[in-house]
Chains A and B, each alone.
Chain A
C-alpha cells in the first residue's frame, strides 16, 4: 500500500457531465501530481501542486482543473466530459517537488458513455 488514497475507484458518467476525483497524499507529503493513463497515450502528466500552490502544468485540457486544499488533499475536476476522457486517473505524492520517488494511488477509472 503506497499510502496515497484515491476515491472513487470507479466512475461512470455521461458525456457533457462534470465529475470530481479526490486524492489524499501520503502522510507528510506536500506535493501532489495528477496523471492520466489511457491505452494509446500511456501515463501523461496533467498537473502538480505543492503545499496548495500550482507548481507545474502538463497536458491538461482547459475543461479540467485541479486544486490542493489546506489539509493537502487534492481534487481533479473534469467538466464537459467527452468519450475520449475515459481513462484511469492517478494521483501521486512526494514530500517536496524535488523529492523522488513519486508514490502512486490505485487510481480512479472513469468511463464516459
Chain B
C-alpha cells in the first residue's frame, strides 16, 4: 500500500526531445506528489509537485500530469537539454511529512 512504482529505470533522449517518466501508486490516502531531481554528489532537489485536486501542473519546461482514477502521475520534460541529465524520483506522501519514493529514473539527454 505504501509503494510508488516508477518507470522506466533509464531513459535516453535527444536534445530538444520530450522526456516522459511515469509513476503509479497504490495508497489512495496519498495527497501530495512531488518530483525530485538529483545530480551526482548532490541531494534530491524539488522540481515540481502536484496535489490530487488538479490534473496538470506546468512550470517552465516541466509538467506533471495526474490521473487520480488510474492512480498514476507522470513528469514531462519538454525541449530536453543536456543539463537535464540527472536522476529523477517521483514521490508521494499523505498529510505532508515523510515521502515514499519511486526507484528513480536515470535520464540522459544527448546533444
Q: Which residues of A contact B (CB under 8 A)?
A: 2, 4, 31, 33, 42-43, 45, 48, 55-56, 58, 90, 92, 94, 96-107
Contact = CB atoms under 8 A, between A and B. Distances in A.
A101 B103 contact: no
Contacts of A94: 96-97
B111 interface: no
B73 to A, nearest CB: 15
Interface of B: 32, 34, 36, 41-46, 49, 89, 93, 95-104
Q: Which A-B residue pairs are the 6 nearest by beta carbons? A: A104-B43, A98-B96, A43-B101, A101-B46, A42-B103, A106-B43
Contacts of B42: 106-107
A53 B65 CA distance: 36
Given A42-B104, A45-B98, A58-B98, A90 B93 contact: no
A2 B43 CA distance: 9
A31 B95 CA distance: 14
Contact of B44 (A43, A58, A97, A99): A43
